[in-house]
Every structure is written in C-alpha cells, then in structure tokens.
Amino acid sequence: MRLILTSIVVAVYVLHQDVWFWRNARPLVFGFLPIGLFYHAAFCLLCSAVMMLLVKFAWPLDLDKPASALLPEDEGR
C-alpha cells in the first residue's frame, strides 16, 4: 500500500507540470476560464482527494500515545 500511495503522490506532482496546456488559453471553460487555470483549479480538487486517501490508508497510528507506551519492551511498556 505504501508503494501505491507514494506512486500516486509522485504522479500528482508530475501532473502539476502540465506542459500540454502551456501555450493554450482555449477552450475557455464556462466561456471565461482559460483551460490552464481550470486545470490547476481541478488539480487542487485532486490534491484534496489524494489527501483523503493518505488519511484513510496511511494515517500514522501511534502518534497520540504517550512516550511510555512506545518505548521498547525491555524499557517498560
């Protein structure tokens, strides 16, 4: 799972570099929004979705436990 999630994050980072819309303003989405701006607005929605995946599948579990509960066994759990 860690590999899949890391790959997704890397893929999203690559998607930020949208050279394919670099020199195009058209189509104007909704008649006024240049495609490059619309793409990056949609990119923000994608980021939110990716964060949701990370929170659901890679949330660190032991962070809210006190230090004593996390020490190695011989140091007293």
Partner 1 sequence: MIPALFVFAYLAVVLYVGIFAFRRSARGQSAEDYFLASRSLGTAVFLFSLFGTNMTAFTILGSSGHAFSNGIVTFGLMASASALIIPLSLFLIGTRLWALGKRFGFMTPVQFFRDRWECGHIGTVIFAVQAALLVPYIIIGVMGGGSTLAAISGGWVPYWLGGALVALVVMGYVFFGGMRGTAWVNTLQTILFLSFGAASLTIIASGMGGFRQAAEEMLRSPATAPLLTRERISPWFFLSYTFIPLSTIAFPHINIFCLTARRVQQFKPTVILYPLCLLAIWLPSVFLGVMANRATAVPSIAAKLEARKVLTAQGSVLPPGERARLRQAAAGDDVIVLLLNHYAPVWLAGLLGAGIMAAVMASDSQILALSTMFTEDVFAFYGGKERFGPAAQVHTGRIFVLGLTAVAYLVALRAPASIFELAVQYAFSGYSSLFPLLVAALFWNGSTKWGALASTLWTVFAVVAVAVFQGAIPAPQFGQPTTVWTLFGAAVLSRTPGGTAVFGLMPVVPMVLISSLLMVAVSFVTRKPSRQTISRYFQQSDPSGRPKGFGLVVSSTN
List of residues contacting partner 1 (CB under 8 A): 1-2, 5, 9, 12-13, 16-19, 21-26, 28, 31-34, 36-37, 40-41, 43-45, 47-48, 50-52, 54-64, 66-67, 70-72, 75
Q: What are the backbone angles phi and psi of residue 70, rounded to the nearest 5°?
A: -110, -5
User: CB 5 → partner 1: shortest distance, Å?
Assistant: 8
User: CB 7 → partner 1: shortest distance, Å?
Assistant: 14
Contact 24, 35 (CB under 8 A): yes
Contact 72, 44 (CB under 8 A): no
Q: In angstroms, rounded to a whole number, what is the distance separating the alpha carbons of residues 1 and 56?
A: 11
Residue 7 vs 54, nearer CB to partner 1:
54
User: CB 76 → partner 1: shortest distance, Å?
Assistant: 13
Residue with tokens 């140091």: 75
